[in-house]
Amino acid sequence: MNEKPNKLKWHVLFIITIGLISAGIYSASQTINYKWQWHLVLPYIIDTSPIDIIAQGDANAAVNADGVITLTFDNGDPSRVISGADQVLISDGDLIFEGDLLARKEGIRSGVLIDGLYMTLKISVISLLFSIIIGLIAALMRISDNPFSKNLSVLYIEIIRGTPLLVQIFIVYFFLGTIFDLDRFTAGVVALSVFTGAYVAEILRSGIQSISAGQMEAARSLGMTYTKAMTYVILPQAFKRTLPPMAGQLINLIKDSSLVSVISITDLTKAGREVVSGSFATFEVWFTVAALYLVLTSTLSWGIQRIEKRLANNDR
């Protein structure tokens, strides 16, 4: 009966502790004589500024009573019709040159930070899928009785885990990228996948080796091939046991993706730097960037926890 009051007491203590930490951070922020301007960050999250419509070539313009612009290009390209503009900045019969501002259109669109968040999510998801595939192959090679496969896997894992990710990104982009003509995004995915795959390989290897050898023997005695026994008996249990460390590694992948900004991929980190240079709201921008990364990692952590609970319920 005393269990609930005791838990309530600790919950209250937790809330008080968080309140004291928050008050301390706020008090410290006041001592640096910095003027907080959070409103400067909002346009980089949700952009409500008018969209400029620019001429793509020299043309003659015709504007009707409804504000519809028809451009007839001098180079023979098909005519272009522009409708739905909220503000028309040219007149009927004007001669238009490439780069001229024709009209403006109101609208709501994602800001630079959200675009960077999307790029981070895209490169992380693709790298995550490839890293699991690479890690699984490397793990199976590591536990193989074939000396060639085993030594090759050990060499891969030791080299990748023994060198910094930043150096690997530079090698992939400047060396392999030049040889195989890789674009920035592909080079970033390759570097992240290969790097994370080495850690995933060791996690999966430990999970596979934690399964009793008798289960493989039992599966083989039932007539299963090694491949079927590994696929239907060993790997499902190994994946279940390695979910927590796997979650930690995949969360690290999302955070490590910030390093691809060094090869000019406009991910969340690079977008943050661009916003800082344009708004000078240094602290506000980096706190926002940190919060967006936290949203990604927390979502992944929550998803894996849900998978763990579902698997645990299936065992009952």
∠ CA 292-293-299, nearest 5°, is 90
The verdict on 81 and 225 lying in the same domain is no
Q: Is residue 219 part of a domain?
A: yes
The overall average pLDDT reported for the chain is 89
Is the pLDDT reported for residue 33 higher than 80?
Answer: no
pLDDT of residue 315: 62
Which of the listed residues 42, 73, 107 is the one where a domain comes to its end? 107
Q: Is residue 27 part of a domain?
A: no
Residues spanned by the domain of 62: 53-107
In which band, very low, low, confident or very high, does the pLDDT at 120 lie, cut at 50, 70 and 90?
very high
∠ CA 21-27-32, nearest 5°, is 130
Residue 115 makes CB contacts below 8 A (sequence gap 6+) with 266, 271
Mean pLDDT of 22-43: 84
Mean pLDDT of 71-83: 81
In the three-class reduction of DSSP (H, G, I as helix; E, B as strand; rest coil), residue 158 is classed as helix
CATH number at residue 62: 2.40.50
Report how many domains make up the chain. Answer: 2
Residue 224 makes CB contacts below 8 A (sequence gap 6+) with 232, 233
The verdict on 146 and 230 lying in the same domain is yes
pLDDT of residue 268: 93
pLDDT in tens, 168-195: 999 999 999 999 999 999 999 999 999 9
The verdict on 78 and 179 lying in the same domain is no
More confident residue, 120 or 61: 120
The verdict on 152 and 267 lying in the same domain is yes
Instruction: Single out the residue of 110, 111, 127, 113 nearest to residue 254, CA to CA.
Output: 127
pLDDT of residue 195: 96
Q: Distance (Å, rounded) from C-alpha 91 to C-alpha 183?
A: 43
Q: Distance (Å, rounded) from C-alpha 13 to C-alpha 97?
A: 68
Phi, psi of 276 (to 5 degrees): -60, -45
Phi, psi of 185 (to 5 degrees): -65, -45
How far, in whole angstroms, is CA 164 from its chain's centroid?
20
Q: Is-contact 250 128, C-beta < 8 A?
A: yes
CATH number at residue 120: 1.10.3720.10
The verdict on 65 and 180 lying in the same domain is no
The verdict on 217 and 124 lying in the same domain is yes
Q: Distance (Å, rounded) from C-alpha 253 to C-alpha 134?
A: 14
Mean pLDDT of 130-136: 95
Q: Is residue 6 part of a domain?
A: no
**Lookup: tokens for 265:** 């991929």
Question: Highest mean pLDDT: which of 42-51, 77-86, 253-262?
Answer: 253-262
The verdict on 237 and 187 lying in the same domain is yes
Q: Distance (Å, rounded) from C-alpha 122 to C-alpha 78?
A: 36
The verdict on 93 and 209 lying in the same domain is no
Which of the listed residues 78, 107, 136 is the one where a domain comes to its end? 107
pLDDT of residue 71: 87
The verdict on 205 and 274 lying in the same domain is yes
Amino acid at site 137: I
More confident residue, 87 or 196: 196
Is the pLDDT reported for residue 309 higher than 90?
Answer: no
pLDDT of residue 198: 96
Q: Is residue 80 part of a domain?
A: yes
Q: Is-contact 193 130, C-beta < 8 A?
A: yes
pLDDT of residue 316: 59
The verdict on 156 and 188 lying in the same domain is yes
pLDDT in tens, 190-227: 999 999 999 999 999 999 999 888 888 888 888 888 88
Q: Is-contact 95 54, C-beta < 8 A?
A: no
The verdict on 93 and 176 lying in the same domain is no
In which band, very low, low, confident or very high, does the pLDDT at 149 lie, cut at 50, 70 and 90?
very high
Model's pTM, two decimal places? 0.82
pLDDT of residue 156: 96
Q: Is residue 42 part of a domain?
A: no
pLDDT of residue 163: 95
- Per-residue DSSP letter, 187: H
The verdict on 100 and 244 lying in the same domain is no
pLDDT of residue 5: 61
